[in-house]
Amino acid sequence: GGEQQRVAVARALANRPSLVLADEPTGNLDEATSNRVLAEFLALVRGEGSAALVATHNERLAAKMDRVVRLHEGVLV
């Protein structure tokens, strides 16, 4: 599972986009693999100076982001 996620991250960042959209990027992974993939993702995004918009239900993943915006009943809070 983790290899496919790493390939997807690399593919998403290959063209050095200014914005990366990621919907549950580690949703199907165990915690250890999730942590590795997320660390690689954040290092690549930050290294390229890109912005990332990550949608997740995982509070631990959200806590590792620079900024968190929550959606509650269709309203950003």
- What is the model's pLDDT at position 21? 92
Q: What are the residues facing 50 on neighbouring strands?
A: none
- What is the model's pLDDT at position 1? 60
pLDDT per position in the chain (77 positions), as tens?
677 877 887 788 788 899 999 999 888 888 888 888 888 889 988 988 899 999 999 898 999 999 999 999 999 98
pTM: 0.77
Question: What is the domain partition of the chain in residue ranges?
Answer: 2-76
Tokens for 5, please give them: 């996620």
Asked if residue 5 lies in contact with residue 32, where contact means CB atoms within 8 angstroms, the answer is no
Asked if residue 25 lies in contact with residue 5, where contact means CB atoms within 8 angstroms, the answer is yes
Tokens for 7, please give them: 């390939």
CATH number corresponding to 2-76: 3.40.50.300
- What is the model's pLDDT at position 30? 86
